[in-house]
Structure 1
Amino acid sequence: MEQDKTGRSKMLRLLLLFLIPGIIILTMVFEIQTNIEEKRANTDAEGIIEFMKEQCARYEKAYIQTGAESEFSIESIFNGYKIEREGIVVLSDGKRVISSNDSSMLGEMVAEDPYIKAFDSHPKSDALVRMAENGKIYYGKSAKCDPYYIYVFLPEREIFVERGMVMSYVAVFYLAAWFVLIFVHQRLVKKQLANSEYQNSIIDAISRIYVTNYVVDLKLDTFEIIRAPEQISQIACHFKGARQITDAITQYCIGKDYQAGMRETTNLDTLPERLRGKEFLNYTFQDTVGVWHMLTALPKRVMANGEIETVIFVVQNIDEQKRRELEYQNQILETAEEARRANAAKTEFLRRMSHDIRTPINGIIGMLNIGDYYPEDMEKQKECREKIRDAAMFLFELVNDVLDMSKMESSEIELEQIPFDLRDILREVSTLIEVQAVERGIVFDYKPEEGQHWNLIGSPLHLRQILLNIAGNSVKYNRVNGNLKLFCREVSSSKEYAMFEFTCADTGKGMSEEFQQHMFEPFSQEENGARTNLGGTGLGLSIVKKLVEKMNGEIDVVSEEGRGTTFTVNIPLKIDTEAEAKEQQTEQEEQERSIAGTRILLVEDNELNMEIAEFLLENENAVITKAWNGKEAVDIFQKEPEGSFDVILMDIMMPVMDGLTATRTIRAMHRIDAKTIPIIAMTANAFNEDRKRSCDAGMNGHLAKPLNIQEVINTIAECIQR
């Protein structure tokens, strides 16, 4: 109904807008054209009257000259004369019509003619006189020519010949102009509508970004909603005035922790001053359900003096963005905290390492001084050598632990897949642990193995490392006269694999619940104070944990402070089904292996290492030729005839020319033995990357320092056989 009324109202306004100017224009044209044609007719009537006056004058002149009637009579005054307009011309002597171009009026009495009588009721005028009688309308004009009276009557249709046509033209032109105007107007309206729709689409698109849009008139205290949730719309209905509404929105829609800030931001009394010279003001807050939003206040209407009258408030949902930002900030804080902890741990590690390295070095130097003080006391010399060996082994294990942890962190550690007898590993570990336990006054109990699959395939070196680390900790942190139990049992098996459980239980100090939460973290130790005996690095359990996981096993720890600790490790190992045949072949090969008489080019830049290696090799009856750097080794090999050496033991890091370059140089020589002679790396670099670089340079094997003579013999024998 409202739409129909609005439509009718628009139509009525449009009709009035069309008719009123048209009527006014046509009326004006009508009046103008009437005046023009009346003047033209009046001129024509005056012309006729002048003609009639001339004719009357001719008649009078002729009458006077002849004194009698002549051929030229007053009645024949119109003979041969034709007026341009249709009309009636009457010549009267005052009583009757004596001459007329309308023969029916001749002799008619003037008093009886209504048109002639009409002149009597009109004042004399220079303009035409309008007369209407019996539906006929004439415009007349009269004049006196003594003794006659002349009357000219022109019909209305003869006077206004062009008025209708002009009115038609004007009406057509007006209609055409109106239609053109309407057409242009419609085009403008369509353009404005299209522009309005485009602007509305932009506004709508922008408003979609904002969950709430409203305009506040600061002077009138009005609140106009453009877009808002239902809750805000209801608040706007129940409260009056922009100040009450904004305060109610803050009270019912904003989280309590942000209401004070919101009231300060939306304070309409101070807002103009706070917005002066600024494009906008922002405030970030949470609503009552914890969703993050951002309110923006923008000046909409600013007066010439800079006074702000109207402000637009828009509210955008930034929950996802804000939560990502907070999450990122938390991650940065966590990363910074982790870095701080890591730096603190490394600093503490270096402090402990400094202590732990200096302690055995101090012991070694001290034992050397004591040995020098008792040069003739062989018993004292033996005691000093044993203590020096213990300190040196501790340093060696310390370096190994650090290297192993570094390899673990870089994922460079590789497990072997070689045959071994698990009983040999267990006996070796138990023997070493028993010696340590006896020295500490600890009762060591090793139970015989339980199971049927002992010949296995895996990484015996790393399995030995796991067991020694766990059992070594049990000795180190046990109490005097404490107990230590170590045993192994096969808990299950399949056709290819057997699951073994290794248990190490002690009655030592135990671990606190707090330390148990991070006991597998690198560098962590429960006792962080200075130690007077040879302690650990805090890497043992970390290495154990990573090795067990790499071997697809599990480790479980039960500990109580002051009562002791029990470690349980479960590891699956592959069963070696060809163990007996391999065992016989290995025993035969070991019996045959010897380097006696082997001609070795020994390349080493360090005098002490050269002396040790020379002693070990000559003790096995090998023939040694020494070179002190890679360049010297290349020159010696090139100078000697082919077949002079059976093997080359090459250090890697040397002055003048390093071992890798020397190896590549030898392999590039144009002689047969340069391509075939075994070259074995002999270095302190023990990483897999170092082994790969040695292999890429053309080396056949890799020996890590300190040298194990049996490993040296086996490696040389294998390379020579190949």
Structure 2
Amino acid sequence: MTGTDSKTKSGRVIVIVLALAVIMGAFAVFLTMNTERINAQNAQYLQGSTQQSARRISEWMTDSQTEVKLLSSMYERGLTRAEDASIEGIKVLAETTKFDYVTFSAMDGLTIDDRGQTGNAADREYYVRGIEGDSGVCATDDSLFYGDLSVIFYTPLRYDGEVIGVIAGAYREDSMEEFLATYFFGEQTSTYLCTRDGTVVAHSSSLAYANEVGNAQDLYFENGSTSDISRADLEEAFHNGSSVTFDYKGESGSGMAYVMQLPDYDWMLMRTFPSSITDDMTASANLAGMVFVSLVALALVAVAAYFLVQSIRQRSKLISESEHVTGIVNSSLALFRRFAVIDLTRNTYEYLKDDGINDDLPRHGEYNMFRYYWQTRFSDEEEAERMKAMLTPEYIQEHLTADMPYLHLEYRLTDPATGDVSWNQASMIPLVRDNNGVVQSVLMSVQDVTDVKEREIANHNALEDAFREAERASKAKSDFLNSMSHDIRTPMNSIMGLTAIATMYLDDPERVKDCLTKITTSSRHLLGLINEVLDMAKIESGNLGLSEEDFDLPETVESLLSIMTPQINDKKLELKVEIADIQHEHVVGDPMRLQQVFVNIMGNSVKFTPEGGIVSLRIKELPSRIKGSGCYEFTFSDTGCGMSEDFVKKVFEPFTRANDSRVTKVEGTGLGMSIVRSVVNLMNGTIDVQSKLGEGTTFTVTVYMKLREGDSHDLSTFEGLRVLVADDEESACESACELLRSVGMEPDYVLSGEDAVEAVRRAVDEARDYVAIILDWKMPGKSGIEAAQEIREIVADDLPIIILSAYDWTAVEQEARAVGVDAFIAKPLFRSRLIHVMKGLLEAEVDEPVSEYEVLQQSDFSGHRVLLTEDNSIAAAIALDILGMTGLEVDHAENGRRAVEMLLDAEPGHYDLVFMDIQMPVMNGYQAASAIRAAAEGKGLDDIVIDARPDLADLPIVALTADAFADDVARSRAAGMNAHMSKPMEIELLVKTLNEWL
């Protein structure tokens, strides 16, 4: 072997060794880059997660503060005396909140919670501040009743503007741990809610070490920390409410922590990111590269050894082996897209690998050419300017200081041919520095990080989507409450107005009775709305339930008109109501939900119809495709502002309102129609809408309801009797005549008051007198009352004259009676109402409906004994009085356990029936009912052993409770109860229930 060959072989070995060094250096850059990228990514993830949680916790605290204020406000409205304030009155309202427990503190500090525990809170922060009239939130690690960590929201309770106590709602430590629980990549981490001095208020972990962290600042790890802040900086950040990242170390391990102030609150939120997660992620990311480079290094070592051992071989074989080594080196460089050595002092560059450049740029040349080439590759001008500045020798030398081992440059490229976007990360490592530490040359490696960047962007977008969804949920809740506020005011206005009318006519019993009847109707509607608010979660999720009860369609329609008529009159609108082909008026369904649909639709018609417009309702029974059910069509029309075609398509979407200047000042959130559609769908019905902008809107609702047997009447006395109908609407006349013919009468109709007078005069002259005359109240020309006055001068005093009206006729009742009007019928004209009025006028005696008091007086259940289980003393006193009026002997138990004990102590057959409240202390109604049924088989309470009582298996148990929803009824049945009555107690239903079971 010649000297030249030996030098060549030695040179090749040196090249291989240098290549190995380059690969190892590149791999070191790769490892460093991955570690730094993962650390930076995790820091961003930690900050984003903490910020999202901070917004969520802030909203939760605001919602909780609102809940306790709403609880106080609702209870204040029900107080009639300051002395009546107690936890008992708040319990029912407190059931609707999310608090673990609710307390009431009197002025002297005596405090009781909703489970009956008592204590003195005079030295508690929330009591002191609440008595001073403040509302807020505080934390304690020694709660009054449980001695644990609790977060307490408090507000004063006032009566006539004076503070009479403090209401507080609290979350206990377990709830806070669950609420703050956080997991990163399947591993639980710690979240701490702290005050501004670092004191831990609540934490997310139930592990022992979490309880030992009293101050978040104690976790600060100074020795060996990579944080660029000191302990003093951390304390200042807590004091100022600033956001800061620092390294921590504690019993749970070490890692990175991020702390920030809660929006709108002085409290701080700190979350940790364990280093174990970062280590696992880094190890996983580096493992593949480490294995590959190790293999490459071993291969290079083997090749070098091979060259040394085989140095005597022929030149041709050495060349072949050299090419083989070059291929291996190129393979190792596959970890990166490009490698280049840049000499900043000589203004040169040389590519060791140049994937993606093709022939556009030489492998080596002047660095100015290198920079110019890459500046032209950016289609985005802002990106081009940024990279132009970063690639200058001055920028590189300024940022690659002695303390900075590498420099990362991340940039985005767009393929001009395909438009595809890719992300690259260029890393520069100093190769040579001068005596002053200034970089002279660098090794630049370029890695494609498109997948990582896309994941980062996706995570960022996901966080933004979550934030927007949280905002939407918050807005949905606010809009829903605004909508329900509007709906509640509708019947409340009716109640207030009718109460004022009744006060003005105290000397007119009939007028007062009519007002009280309408007040009862509006009150029941208001009660339904309150139930709806309490069932808010079901409404928001669309999980509505329907009850099934007997009701009469005429009563539901009259209730609707009683509620809406004051609003219609206020806006000076004309109301038209018409019925057609109603064969079945007695049905089974959910009248409250049906009325909710009607009020929402007609309420919108009234709101969006200008003064002088027309609002109409048409009711028709259609042929039913469901056996045993009736199909009813309700058509609501108005001459209001109408809707555009685009808005009609989304009118049933939640929170949707038309963007129209004519309706922007109209109250409402757009939630009502969404609820309407949900209810109609549950009734196996349909709802359609037709509207034209500027001309009006028509809603058509079709629902199916089960039929029930109605009252049977002897109509033989009506056969062949002649009746005259006068109404200015021909369709109304035809509908009334059809109804009269269905009961056997022979009707005629005219279209004005003048024609009615002439028809009566002609009938008298021809000796074909009418037996009754029905006149519409409001007709153009001669009104119904004016026509009645003239007709009374023609006919005898015993001829019945009836006024038909869709309006509140009480204002003209005296005038109408004075001119000879005998009766009034409200529109729409239902068959049952017509028969009742006609029988009262044409037959000798007709039973008048009795009052609730008379119903009780006529009911005699003497000889029966019932057990009333009720924990509320006022409710119990009312129930005892009402039940006593029926002749019943009534015993009272103040809770479910006491009721069970009284039944076990009594002889078999001593009690004939049990009325059972549900929400009670000690033992609730469900538990008590289950215990009574279990006692029939000899299964006693935990501390009571009894003999079997078979009589208790058949003892009727009736739920008497404010839990009035369909699932509450089902739950009471499952517990062993026989029937269900909701509060407030309805007299007719009470008597019906007693008759059924006694």
- TM-score normalised over the length of structure 2: 0.44
AA aligned opposite 2:616: L
Alignment match, 1:625:
891
Shift in Å at residue 317 of structure 1? 4.1
Alignment match, 1:51:
none
For residue 982 of structure 2, the aligned residue among 688, 695, 704 is 704
Shift in Å at residue 671 of structure 1? 1.4
Kept after mapping to 1: 8 A contact 2:585/2:710: no
Matched, 1:245 2:370: yes
AA aligned opposite 1:650: M
Alignment match, 2:575:
443
Q: Encode CA deviations 1:72-99: one digit per residue, 9 max, x unaligned.
A: xxxxxxxxxxxxxxxxxxxxxxxxxxxx
Matched, 1:302 2:580: no
Matched, 1:399 2:533: no
Q: CA–CA distance in 2 between the matches of 1:622 and 1:367?
A: 35
Q: Encode CA deviations 1:141-189: one digit per residue, 9 max, x unaligned.
A: xxxxxxxxxxxxxxxxxxxxxxxxxxxxxxxxxxxxxx99745888xx9
For residue 348 of structure 2, the aligned residue among 195, 217, 222 is 222
Q: CA–CA distance in 2 between the matches of 1:324 and 1:595?
A: 78
Kept after mapping to 2: 8 A contact 1:444/1:483: yes
Matched, 1:274 2:399: yes
AA aligned opposite 1:262: M
> Where does 1:577-616 land on structure 2 (aligned, <5 Å)?
596=861, 599-610=865-876, 612-614=878-880
Q: CA–CA distance in 2 between the matches of 1:679 and 1:586?
A: 33
Relative to structure 1, the CA distance from residue 488 to residue 612 in structure 2 (aligned partners, 3 Å threshold; closer, same or farther) is: farther
Q: CA–CA distance in 1 between the matches of 2:409 and 2:354?
A: 18
Kept after mapping to 1: 8 A contact 2:884/2:890: yes
Secondary structure of the corresponding residue to residue 953 of structure 2 = helix
Relative to structure 1, the CA distance from residue 407 to residue 376 in structure 2 (aligned partners, 3 Å threshold; closer, same or farther) is: same
Q: CA–CA distance in 1 between the matches of 2:878 and 2:666?
A: 35
Secondary structure of the corresponding residue to residue 233 of structure 1 = coil
Q: CA–CA distance in 2 between the matches of 1:425 and 1:286?
A: 73
Matched, 1:483 2:615: yes
Kept after mapping to 2: 8 A contact 1:630/1:656: yes
> Where does 1:312-331 land on structure 2 (aligned, <5 Å)?
312-331=443-462
Kept after mapping to 2: 8 A contact 1:250/1:263: yes
Shift in Å at residue 267 of structure 1? 1.8
AA aligned opposite 2:932: I
Kept after mapping to 2: 8 A contact 1:405/1:543: no
Q: Encode CA deviations 1:379-422: one digit per residue, 9 max, x unaligned.
A: 67546635643553343132133245422335643457x799xx
Q: CA–CA distance in 1 between the matches of 2:586 and 2:508?
A: 47
Matched, 1:542 2:667: no
Q: CA–CA distance in 2 between the matches of 1:199 and 1:539?
A: 68
> Where does 1:566-577 land on structure 2 (aligned, <5 Å)?
566-569=698-701
Shift in Å at residue 644 of structure 1? 2.0
Kept after mapping to 1: 8 A contact 2:641/2:696: yes
Query: Structure 1 vs Structure 2: percent identity of aligned residues?
Result: 32
Alignment match, 2:697:
565
Matched, 1:671 2:949: yes
Q: CA–CA distance in 1 between the matches of 2:514 and 2:586?
A: 39
Q: Over the residues paired in the alignment, what is the CA RMSD in angstroms?
A: 5.3
Kept after mapping to 1: 8 A contact 2:498/2:519: yes
Relative to structure 1, the CA distance from residue 304 to residue 238 in structure 2 (aligned partners, 3 Å threshold; closer, same or farther) is: closer
> Where does 1:58-207 land on structure 2 (aligned, <5 Å)?
182-183=309-310, 200-204=330-334, 206-207=335-336
Kept after mapping to 1: 8 A contact 2:554/2:585: no
Kept after mapping to 1: 8 A contact 2:643/2:691: yes
CA radius of gyration, larger in? 1
Shift in Å at residue 378 of structure 1? 3.9
> Where does 1:514-553 land on structure 2 (aligned, <5 Å)?
520=652, 539-550=671-682
Q: CA–CA distance in 2 between the matches of 1:639 and 1:294?
A: 85
Relative to structure 1, the CA distance from residue 538 to residue 425 in structure 2 (aligned partners, 3 Å threshold; closer, same or farther) is: farther
Q: Encode CA deviations 1:12-34: one digit per residue, 9 max, x unaligned.
A: 9559999xxxxxxxxxxxxxxxx
Shift in Å at residue 265 of structure 1? 1.8
Relative to structure 1, the CA distance from residue 390 to residue 458 in structure 2 (aligned partners, 3 Å threshold; closer, same or farther) is: closer
> Where does 1:34-49 land on structure 2 (aligned, <5 Å)?
none
Which protein has greater RCO, CA pairs closer than 8 Å, 6+ apart? 1
Relative to structure 1, the CA distance from residue 374 to residue 688 in structure 2 (aligned partners, 3 Å threshold; closer, same or farther) is: closer
AA aligned opposite 1:245: F
Kept after mapping to 1: 8 A contact 2:484/2:533: no
For residue 906 of structure 2, the aligned residue among 640, 650, 669 is 640
Q: CA–CA distance in 2 between the matches of 1:648 and 1:405?
A: 31
Kept after mapping to 1: 8 A contact 2:377/2:413: no
Structure 1's unaligned 5+ residue stretches are 1-9, 19-178, 588-593
AA aligned opposite 1:395: L
Kept after mapping to 2: 8 A contact 1:603/1:649: yes
Matched, 1:389 2:520: yes
Relative to structure 1, the CA distance from residue 625 to residue 249 in structure 2 (aligned partners, 3 Å threshold; closer, same or farther) is: same
Kept after mapping to 1: 8 A contact 2:424/2:450: no
Q: CA–CA distance in 2 between the matches of 1:213 and 1:518?
A: 58
Q: CA–CA distance in 2 between the matches of 1:556 and 1:320?
A: 49
AA aligned opposite 1:217: D
Relative to structure 1, the CA distance from residue 16 to residue 622 in structure 2 (aligned partners, 3 Å threshold; closer, same or farther) is: closer
Relative to structure 1, the CA distance from residue 659 to residue 310 in structure 2 (aligned partners, 3 Å threshold; closer, same or farther) is: same
Q: CA–CA distance in 2 between the matches of 1:490 and 1:482?
A: 25
Q: CA–CA distance in 2 between the matches of 1:537 and 1:615?
A: 44
Secondary structure of the corresponding residue to residue 358 of structure 2 = helix
Alignment match, 1:285:
412
AA aligned opposite 1:267: T
Moved more, 286-295 or 460-469: 460-469
Structure 2's unaligned 5+ residue stretches are 10-305, 714-858, 936-947
Shift in Å at residue 334 of structure 1? 3.9
Shift in Å at residue 296 of structure 1? 1.9
Kept after mapping to 2: 8 A contact 1:487/1:504: no
Kept after mapping to 2: 8 A contact 1:663/1:698: yes
Shift in Å at residue 310 of structure 1? 3.4
